[in-house]
């Protein structure tokens, strides 16, 4: 069942919104349990995953290594809970788009829908709340000033135009509560039918490949890698960037970390092995491979 990703600036009120969703969804499930309307909904359970439930201190944001370990703990907890009868609310900063993409892929792997709830509290208000939390020892929360500035600077705001941030629901600071009914309808449905998640078009295709497909796969993927190598040669020492590929409307979006030739060759071989058994239109190969590379680069962060 669905994954709900909470995202926003530090001290934006994400946990407050996550608790609102948790309580509202539990009430909907309890209401369904008292009737015979939908036994599927009555079986659902709601799980809230956040720093507190994982026993993580906000001091982890002082350095890269403990922060990375904290993200890994949250990722593992969400992945473990995702299932047929579970609604998982991942409450946290979730400020890295690559991390949101990874969780989106985990939800899709178990054929369950997902959404992002962006807590859109302005930075100035977040800073005011954060300072108040730091000054009041009786209240939990609050980030060190340097950590707060760093997290705000690195925050990658969700974009509803990307599939891993869609559907996107934005909750403003002034809103009394999130759009609970809209989120419920988008993820659970109101017609008694479970929301179906379609598999990736690039990996689920009709069998029976033409005899020259392997040649086309090797040639097309090699052409794309050649374009990347040419770009890297023209931009020595630079990481990231968009590579235009002849005959393809989508650019290759290189990750922040430098991608080596052997890494690209491994990705090319994986794509070829994955698709050689299917009947693919040669015209689509270049676009599919570029999309595959972009997805894999996102996982690199």
pLDDT digits (tens, 9 = 90+) for 83-97: 888 999 999 999 999
Q: What pLDDT, in 10s, does the model give residues 194-242?
A: 566 765 554 444 444 456 778 889 999 999 999 999 998 898 878 788 9
Report the pLDDT averaged over residues 278-288. Answer: 82
Segment 154-165 shows an average pLDDT of 93
Interatomic CA distance for residues 47 and 74, integer angstroms: 13
Q: What is the mean pLDDT of residues 168-182?
A: 96
Give the orientation angle of helix 180-187 with respect to helix 14-33, to 10 degrees.
60
**What residues are paired with 168 via a beta bridge?**
116
Instruction: Measure Cα distances from 69 to 54, 57, 66, 281 in Å.
Output: 12, 12, 5, 42
Q: Is 283 exposed, middle or buried (0-12, 13-18, 19+ CB in 10 A)?
A: exposed
Which residues have a Cβ under 8 Å from the Cβ of 226 and sit 6 or more positions away?
none
pLDDT, one tens digit per residue, over 89-148 is 999 999 999 999 999 998 988 889 999 999 999 999 999 999 999 998 778 779 999 999
């Amino acid at each position: 069942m669905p994954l709900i990703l909470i995202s926003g600036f530090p001290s934006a009120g994400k946990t407050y919104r996550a608790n609102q969703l948790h309580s509202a969804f539990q009430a909907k499930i309890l209401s369904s349990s008292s009737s015979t309307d939908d036994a599927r909904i009555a079986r659902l359970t709601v799980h809230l995953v956040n720093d507190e439930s994982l026993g993580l201190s906000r001091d982890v944001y002082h350095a890269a290594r403990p922060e990375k370990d904290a993200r890994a703990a949250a990722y593992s907890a969400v992945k473990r809970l995702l299932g047929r009868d579970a609604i998982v609310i991942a409450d946290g900063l979730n400020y890295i788009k690559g991390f949101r993409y990874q969780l989106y892929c985990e939800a899709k792997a178990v054929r369950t829908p997902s959404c992002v709830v962006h807590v859109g509290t302005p930075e100035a208000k977040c800073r005011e709340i954060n300072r108040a939390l730091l000054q009041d020892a009786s209240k939990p929360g609050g980030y060190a000033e340097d950590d707060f500035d760093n997290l705000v600077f690195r925050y990658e705001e969700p974009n509803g135009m990307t599939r891993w941030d869609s559907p996107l629901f934005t909750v403003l600071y002034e809103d009394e509560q999130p759009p609970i009914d809209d989120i419920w309808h988008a993820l659970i449905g109101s017609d008694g039918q479970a929301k179906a998640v379609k598999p990736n078009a690039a990996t689920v295709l009709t069998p029976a490949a033409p005899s020259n497909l392997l040649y086309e796969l090797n040639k097309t993927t090699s052409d794309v890698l050649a374009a990347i190598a040419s770009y890297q040669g023209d931009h020595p020492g630079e990481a990231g960037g968009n590579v235009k590929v002849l005959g393809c409307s989508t650019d290759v979006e290189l990750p922040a970390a430098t991608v080596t030739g052997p890494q690209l060759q491994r990705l090319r071989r994986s794509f070829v092995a994955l698709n050689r058994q299917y009947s693919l239109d040669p015209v689509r190969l270049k676009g599919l491979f570029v999309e595959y590379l972009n997805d894999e680069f996102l996982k690199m962060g």
